[in-house]
Amino acid sequence: MEIDFNVPAHIVGIDLGTTNSLVAFMDLTGPRIVPGADGDKLVPSVVSVQPDGEIVVGNPARELLLTQPERTVYSVKRLMGRGLQDVQDELKLYPFHIAPGSESVIHLQLGDRTYTPPEISACVLRQLKQNAEKYFGAEVPKAVITVPAYFNDAQRQATKDAGRIAGLEVLRLVNEPTAASLAYGLDKRKNGIVAVYDLGGGTFDISILKLQDGIFEVLATNGDTHLGGDDIDNLLLRIALEDVAGEWGQDLSTDNEGVQRLRRAVIHAKERLSFVPATNIELEYRGKKYQREIRRELFDKLITPIVDRTLGPCRRCIQDAGVSVDQIDEVVMVGGSTRIPLVLSAVENLFRVKPHTELNPDEVVALGAAVQAAILSGAVQDKLLLDVTPLSLGIETMGGVVSKLIHRNSTIPASATENFTTGVDGQRNVLIHVVQGERELVKDCRSLARFDLKDIDPMPAGMARIEVRFLIDANGILNVTARDQRTGKEHSVDVKPSYGLTDEQVEKMIQESVEKAEQDFAERQVREARVEADTILTAVEKARRHDAYFELTDDERAAIDKAVNELLLVYHADNLDLILQKIEQLNQATQKLAETMMNTAVRGALKGTKI
């Protein structure tokens, strides 16, 4: 790797984590972590708002969880770019409150002020920026920030918003597994399959990457957003609390300070057990002392169910990626919990490859972000500088709705594949309409290309399988291929997605998508409801020609006719609830007809058959 340090300006790499965050940079020896004011490289992703409005970040904020839990926010990464309905499970775990009227955009109530998740994340990013500026003695205006591979466009945009609020120009969002692979220099392989196993404090992620000509493509991701080292801590803490209650005759679980001290003791013991065969859990509190020896054998037995829970998502991810275990060339370990010997052995047994553990698993993602930052700054000159797509790319689906295949800010080269089907019985041709933009409806996006996939097998609506593949090469040329999976017939077209668009036009399209997001989403829902209405109306029309229809009573047929007419009356209205209500009424009115048709089909199938 050739590095030119005559290039001005510092561009840092940031791992904005659920539990902890880090900032890194590249020097002559390679990527390095920037230490904080207290010398600690890890900055806890915790923010506390004091009664006087002062904002506290990191270790001091984590201490305030004991005394001011309702004013202190942690794990805010889980709330980024998500609506209230998306995060019901997460909210049960938090001591802080959600402000009224937070349905579409979450607002956290901290004292007499409300904050959005990007604003809270910006506090963490601002602290990392300040740490870097103090270390360099110079301004740090730009950064590369990592995000989970499964983050959708809204979550990625929320991360960029957080950077902007913190005073950072976010040059690139890099997938965390890709960053980890970059830190290990796996891009030098040119080709191969890489698995990235990420067991952090509160979440578990597994990603399978395909490396082709030095470029990473995420084939599949899986994981558990409520599984991590915290589960191990909580398990040991429960055991220790029971011991204390037995020895002291005192329930410590209601004493916040006592629980926090005991939690630190069990975490210290857990960390030591990664390096020694036995250690003690020790607590001195209010004149009393508790001590218990815990050996590695017992520890492994206790945590085996937790470690096993990570293996299921791994197997599903391998299956989703369409590869076998034998095809996986490298395994990278990320997250502090991967230091545990039982975790390492379980991963090695599953993937049959010795995992990479040379780098600090807490730091590896930030180190990879620093490598990407150095590429962007021009300091690293012998690596490919990857560009990103300025706007999302997708195709038109039923109802004039856009199905996005490659999202805005995706690193190119990029590829995506999705399966679609037909909407009409006996359909022989399928029109593929390629569009570009951030809006939900085709009419609000830019049309790039149209072509027909002809002579597909005529089948009932919904039975055909049409595979559409988008591939953007390093020059930004988009190749779209549509293929009938039954016959193998295919058609493709090349387009240049950003042709004819200025930066101002791109920015305007993005701004419109933000301003009109709520309106677009509502209209998309109405159109999808109309598609659903079309489907059921077509099915009812067919059923009216079936013998079973004439087996119904006059009242039952009249109820179906009435439900059909009422649905047709509201079909063109913009009232989503009303359309869904009439669809449900028609579903109920045709329930007896569906049962009669099923019975008739079964009788026909069994006719002349002896059981």
* Active site residues per annotation: 15, 77, 176, 198
For residue 586 the two structure tokens come to 């028609």
Helix (H, G, I), strand (E, B) or coil at 442: helix
Nearest CA to 144 out of 366, 367, 364, 373 is that of 373
Q: Which residue has the tokens 């545990």?
A: 340
Side-chain-side CA neighbours of 75 within 13 Å: the count stands at: 19
* Residue 307 near residue 346 (C-beta atoms within 8 A): yes
For residue 67 the two structure tokens come to 């005394």
What phi and psi, each to the nearest 5 degrees, are found at residue 120?
-70, -45
Nearest 5°: the CA angle 21, 27, 31 is: 40
Q: Outline where 81-226 has alpha helix (H).
A: 88-91, 117-136, 153-165, 176-183
Contacts of 415 (CB under 8 A, 6+ apart): 217, 406, 469, 470, 471, 472
Q: At what angle do helices 256-272 and 229-248 cross, to 10 degrees?
A: 120
Distance CA 548, CA 61 (A): 68
Distance CA 82, CA 155 (A): 7
* Residue 478 near residue 393 (C-beta atoms within 8 A): yes
* Residue 564 near residue 533 (C-beta atoms within 8 A): no
Contacts of 197 (CB under 8 A, 6+ apart): 206, 310, 314, 331, 332, 333, 334, 338, 347, 355
Q: Which residue has the tokens 């012998």?
A: 382
- In order of 26, 28, 33, the CA distances from 39 in angstroms are 19, 22, 11
* Residue 334 near residue 361 (C-beta atoms within 8 A): yes
* Residue 207 near residue 177 (C-beta atoms within 8 A): yes
Burial 354-377 (b: 16+ CB within 10 A, else e): ebbeebebbbbbbbbbbbbbbbbb
* Residue 285 near residue 258 (C-beta atoms within 8 A): yes
- Residue 559, number of CB atoms within 10 A of its CB: 19
Distance CA 4, CA 27 (A): 10
Nearest 5°: the CA angle 525, 529, 530 is: 120
Contacts of 537 (CB under 8 A, 6+ apart): 564, 567, 568, 586
Helix (H, G, I), strand (E, B) or coil at 384: coil
Q: Which residue has the tokens 């991967």?
A: 338
